[in-house]
Amino acid sequence: MTVEAHTDIAVVGAGPAGLSAALNAARSGQTVTLIDAQPGRGGQIWRGAKVDTPHPAATLLHALDACPNVRWPGQTEIAWVEASGDDRTLILHGPDGLTRLHTGRVILATGAVERFLPFPGWTLPGVTGAGALQAMVKAGLDVRGARVVVAGSGPLLLAVAAGLRQAGARVLGIAEQAPLASAARFGLAAARLGGKARESAGLAWALRGVGYWPGTYPVLAEGNGTLERVTLRRAGRNTTLDCEWLAVGFGLVPETRVAALLGCALTDSGAVQVDAWGQTSVRGVYAAGEITGVGGVDKALHEGTVAGCAASGQIERLRDAAATSARHSAFQAALDRAFTLRPELRELPAPHTVICRCEDVTHAQLRTQAGWTDAKLQTRCGMGACQGRVCGPATEALYGWRFSGVRPPLTPLPISDLLTPP
């Protein structure tokens, strides 16, 4: 069944940026609808946050719950978008089918996804994203006693390792592809990606005794049906570790699919372009958080406030916002530089290594293609179930292609939901 609904402001994404945008927008008295695919609010970083537990997210959730003008349907995603003039209709898909949500303004807070870089064996069950394994543990996966190697790049690896350890896993080590100098300067300091500088001290304590190996990256995952061991390379030398899980992610990339459907312009680095008020190139569409550049919780909360106020016409509340924004952007740019991917990572796939997991397209088939469009036509790369969510960022890193495959519907829809009469 298709339901019609109306809201003044739609906030897409219920992570820190989306929650803060929703709360600030709601203070204007206008109606706000908060949309997220997860069953609970909090996004990836605050996943599973509850109102009644002591948590930095709790205050925000509590304040939101006190707003009668905020709707939170939960487990709802944008399938496609229809726009005419300043009116937009977001077609939402949830457990009960489709909803046509008519909205004046949109705040995009869709966050970021992990970048996966293919190497031989990366498709084995047991090899997951870094943030992914953390998310699975938060969703109930039992890792007590399991041996885990954490690998990839960026400050997220530290938080992931600490979380896994807390859940009882044996973290064998953290392989960071960036060189020692970057890791030392930005590794622990960047723990404030999770909010608050003092968290870096807590992180160091949680990780005591765990090896942190800069300049190290995975080159091979092996096992009979599922993961049994991982080979890491450091300064040309290989080491093989037995493990049940490899949590590997090479940084985060802004999730700009909904932005692309709405026609928002992107920056050269693939983030959504915004002005000082968080407005994108499309009038009435705002963006906040990781989709404007990956810079952590504090940046997300701040940008959520800016976009929430601006979208609801409370510009007077934003007198001091510009200076704070500049500080966050500088931190984010420095992070990007510190964790630049080393060129050797591009040489990791073997000819038979699968790059597009949905369609099983290999490196040998792809490396001779001229670009994303050719690859799609010749090999079906990116045309499978995930629609390029995994291989898009991977091929960007491997071959320098620019991903251009956003097509509605963004989410696979059961045919029955499309066919039932409104």
Partner 1 sequence: MPELWIEGRAVRVPDGSSVLAALQNAGIRTLRQSLSGEPRGALCGMGSCLECRALVDGRVVRTCLTPVRDGQHITLFAEGVHDR
User: Which positions lie near partner 1, rule CB under 8 A?
Assistant: 37-39, 44, 48, 75, 113-114, 116, 123-129, 131-136, 139-142, 225-226, 255, 354, 357-360, 385-386, 389-390, 412, 414
Nearer to partner 1, 9 or 112 (CB): 112
> Shortest distance, CB of residue 114 to partner 1, whole angstroms?
7
Nearer to partner 1, 278 or 392 (CB): 392
Residue 30's alpha-carbon distances to 24, 101, 310, in angstroms, are 10, 15, 13
Nearer to partner 1, 123 or 329 (CB): 123
Instruction: Please give the angle made by the CA atoms of 358, 361 and 366, to the nearest 5 degrees.
Output: 135
> Shortest distance, CB of residue 300 to partner 1, whole angstroms?
16
> Shortest distance, CB of residue 111 to partner 1, whole angstroms?
9
> Shortest distance, CB of residue 419 to partner 1, whole angstroms?
15
Nearer to partner 1, 225 or 236 (CB): 225
Nearer to partner 1, 126 or 293 (CB): 126
> Shortest distance, CB of residue 248 to partner 1, whole angstroms?
10
Nearer to partner 1, 13 or 295 (CB): 13
> Shortest distance, CB of residue 102 to partner 1, whole angstroms?
25
